[in-house]
C-alpha cells in the first residue's frame, strides 16, 4: 500500500512539473482545454478524458507589449496607411528590440526594398532628442508627434531623400535629412 501512495505522489509531482513547464512557454494562444491529473496508481492509470478543443482566439496583428497597444498600433497604422496612400511599396512591420534608441516600441520593415524602421517614443520630447541625434549623423527620417519613420540612409539614400517629403506631407510631419 505504501508503494502505491509513493507512486501516486510521484505521478502527481510529474504531472504538476509538466503543467508548470507548459505555463512557462512563450505561446500567445490560450490552452485549448484544462489540464487533467490523475492520482491513480500506475498499474490502473486510465487515459484522461478529452474534451473538444475550444475555438482558437482570432488572430491579431497587435504586438505583444506591456505598453498600451492602442497608441503603438495607431502610430504603426498611421505610417502604413500613408505609405499605402502614396503607393510606396513596403513590407509588414515586425516588432523589434528598441535597443538604445530611447523608443518605447520599434518596428522593422522595408520601404521600396530598403531597410527602414518605425520608432515610437513616450512623448514628443523623446522623439525630438532622437531626431537631433539622427540629424547629426546624416539620417533621413520623417518625424510626427512621438513617432519617427527612419528611412534608409545608406544604399537607399537617394530613394529615401525622394520619398521622405512626400510621406511627411501625407502624415502632416517633417522630413529630416533631405
* Assigned C-alpha cell, 123: 512623448
3-class SS of residue 65: coil
Mean pLDDT, residues 46-60 = 43
Whether 88 maps to a domain, the answer reads yes
Whether 55 maps to a domain, the answer reads no
Distance separating alpha carbons of residues 83 and 21, to the nearest angstrom: 43
Whether 135 maps to a domain, the answer reads yes
In this predicted structure, the answer to whether residue 26 has a pLDDT above a threshold of 60 is no
Domain interval for residue 14: 2-44
* Assigned C-alpha cell, 121: 517614443
Mean pLDDT, residues 149-170 = 95
84, 135: one domain: yes
Q: Which residue has the higher pLDDT, 23 or 74?
A: 74
Contact 148, 131 (CB under 8 A): yes
Can you give the pLDDT at residue 18?
Answer: 31
Can you give the pLDDT at residue 77?
Answer: 95
With a CB cutoff of 8 Å and minimum separation 6, the contacts of 24 are: none
Whether 62 maps to a domain, the answer reads no
Whether 63 maps to a domain, the answer reads no
Can you give the pLDDT at residue 31?
Answer: 37
- B/e letters for 65-103, b = 16+ CB within 10 Å, e = fewer, are eeeeeeebbebbebbbebbeeeeeebeebebbeeeebeb
Contact 131, 147 (CB under 8 A): no
Whether 100 maps to a domain, the answer reads yes
Tally of structural domains, the chain: 2
79, 28: one domain: no
- pLDDT category at 101 given cuts 50, 70, 90 is confident
95, 149: one domain: yes
Amino acid at each position: 500500500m505504501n508503494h502505491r501512495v509513493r507512486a501516486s505522489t510521484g505521478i502527481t509531482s510529474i504531472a504538476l512539473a509538466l503543467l508548470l513547464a507548459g505555463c512557462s512557454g512563450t505561446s500567445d494562444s490560450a490552452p485549448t482545454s484544462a489540464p487533467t491529473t490523475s492520482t491513480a496508481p500506475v498499474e490502473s492509470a486510465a487515459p484522461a478524458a478529452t474534451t473538444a478543443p475550444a475555438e482558437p482566439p482570432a488572430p491579431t496583428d497587435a504586438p505583444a507589449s506591456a505598453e498600451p497597444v492602442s497608441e503603438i498600433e495607431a502610430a504603426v497604422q498611421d505610417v502604413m496607411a500613408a505609405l499605402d496612400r502614396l503607393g510606396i511599396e513596403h513590407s509588414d512591420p515586425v516588432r523589434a528590440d528598441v535597443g538604445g534608441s530611447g523608443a518605447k516600441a520599434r518596428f522593422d520593415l522595408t520601404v521600396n526594398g530598403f531597410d527602414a524602421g518605425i520608432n515610437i517614443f513616450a512623448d514628443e520630447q523623446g522623439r525630438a532628442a532622437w531626431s537631433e541625434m539622427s540629424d547629426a549623423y546624416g539620417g533621413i527620417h520623417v518625424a510626427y508627434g512621438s513617432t519617427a519613420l527612419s528611412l534608409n540612409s545608406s544604399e537607399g539614400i537617394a530613394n529615401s531623400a525622394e520619398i521622405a517629403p512626400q510621406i511627411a506631407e501625407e502624415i502632416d510631419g517633417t522630413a529630416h535629412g533631405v
